Structure 1
Amino acid sequence: MSRSQFQFLVLHFTSLFILWAMSSRTTLAAASPVPPTDSIAKLHCPSHCGHIAIPYPFGIGEGCYLTGSDTGFYSNSFQIICNYSTSPPKPFLTSTSLEVLEISIEGTLQVRSPITFSNCTDKPGLPSNRQTYNLEQTPFWYSQDNRFTSMSCGGIALMTKFSNGLTTTLGGCLSICDYSSNPVLKKNTCIGINCCQSTFPKYLKNFNASFADVINARSAKECKYAFVVKQSWFTRTNMSVIGDMDYVPVELKWSARPYSDISNNWTVSNNSTYISDDGRLLLCSKGYEGNPYLLHGCQGN
Structure 2
Amino acid sequence: MRPVLLLVWLWSLAPTAMNIKVAPAVPDPPSAPSLAHCPKTCGDVSISYPFGVGPGCFRQGFDLICDTTTKPPKLFLGNTTTQVISLFPSGTVLASIMYTIPMVPGVGTYNLSWESPGRNLNIATYNYLAFLGCGIGVYLYHPDTGDLVGHCTVKCASMASMLLVTEGGGICNGMGCCTVTFPVPFRGFRVTIVKNNETVPQPFANITIKAFLSFRPYIFSIADLLSDKINASTVGASSAAYLSTVITDNPNCAKARSDDKTRYACGSSNCENVANGGYYCTCSGSSDDGNPYILDDCKQGDFN
Instruction: Identify if the C-alpha distance between structure 1 residues 172 and 116 changes in structure 2 by more than 3 Å, giving closer, same or farther.
Output: farther
Instruction: Identify if the C-alpha distance between structure 1 residues 294 and 200 changes in structure 2 by more than 3 Å, giving closer, same or farther.
Output: same
3-state SS in 1 of match to 2:224: helix
Q: Name the Cα RMSD after superposition.
A: 3.5
- 1:286 and 2:285 are equivalent in the alignment: yes
Partner of 2:177: 195
3-state SS in 2 of match to 1:181: helix
Residue 149 of structure 1: how far off its partner (Å): 1.9
**1:192-249 deviations in whole A, cap 9, x for unaligned?**
22222121132332303412315436599432524242131x43x5634534343443
Cα distance in 2, alignment partners of residues 91 and 291 from structure 1 = 20
- Give the counterpart of 2:137 among 156, 160, 164: 156
Partner of 1:260: 251
Partner of 1:250: 241
* TM-score (ref. length: structure 1): 0.67
Instruction: Identify if the C-alpha distance between structure 1 residues 242 and 283 changes in structure 2 by more than 3 Å, giving closer, same or farther.
Output: farther
Residue 49 of structure 1: how far off its partner (Å): 0.6
**1:163-218 deviations in whole A, cap 9, x for unaligned?**
89xx6433210233332322554314112222221211323323034123154365
- 1:175 and 2:154 are equivalent in the alignment: yes
3-state SS in 2 of match to 1:263: helix
Q: How many residues align?
A: 244
Contact 1:40/1:297 (8 A) holds in 2: no
Instruction: Identify if the C-alpha distance between structure 1 residues 151 and 230 changes in structure 2 by more than 3 Å, giving closer, same or farther.
Output: same
Cα distance in 2, alignment partners of residues 115 and 211 from structure 1 = 16
Residue 100 of structure 1: how far off its partner (Å): 1.4
Partner of 1:47: 40
Contact 1:176/1:193 (8 A) holds in 2: yes
- Give the counterpart of 1:94 among 68, 72, 78: 78
Residue 254 of structure 1: how far off its partner (Å): 2.2
Cα distance in 2, alignment partners of residues 141 and 103 from structure 1 = 14
Contact 1:40/1:47 (8 A) holds in 2: no
How high is the sequence identity, in percent, across the aligned residues?
22
Contact 2:130/2:180 (8 A) holds in 1: yes
> Equivalences for 1:217-256 in 2 at 5 Å?
221-223=205-207, 225-232=209-216, 234-235=217-218, 239-243=221-225, 244=227, 245-247=229-231, 248-256=239-247
**1:37-71 deviations in whole A, cap 9, x for unaligned?**
x969922211111100110000111101012xxxx
Query: 1 or 2 for the larger relative contact order (CA 8 Å, sep ≥6)?
Result: 2
Partner of 2:273: 276
Q: Which moved more, 1:87-96 or 1:51-60?
A: 87-96
- 1:108 and 2:92 are equivalent in the alignment: yes
Contact 1:209/1:227 (8 A) holds in 2: no
State the one-letter code of the partner of 2:272: I
State the one-letter code of the partner of 1:119: M
Residue 89 of structure 1: how far off its partner (Å): 1.1
Cα distance in 2, alignment partners of residues 163 and 297 from structure 1 = 35
* TM-score (ref. length: structure 2): 0.66
Cα distance in 2, alignment partners of residues 54 and 196 from structure 1 = 34
Cα distance in 2, alignment partners of residues 263 and 287 from structure 1 = 25
- 1:131 and 2:112 are equivalent in the alignment: yes
Residue 140 of structure 1: how far off its partner (Å): 2.0
Instruction: Identify if the C-alpha distance between structure 1 residues 210 and 155 changes in structure 2 by more than 3 Å, giving closer, same or farther.
Output: closer
Instruction: Identify if the C-alpha distance between structure 1 residues 277 and 241 changes in structure 2 by more than 3 Å, giving closer, same or farther.
Output: farther
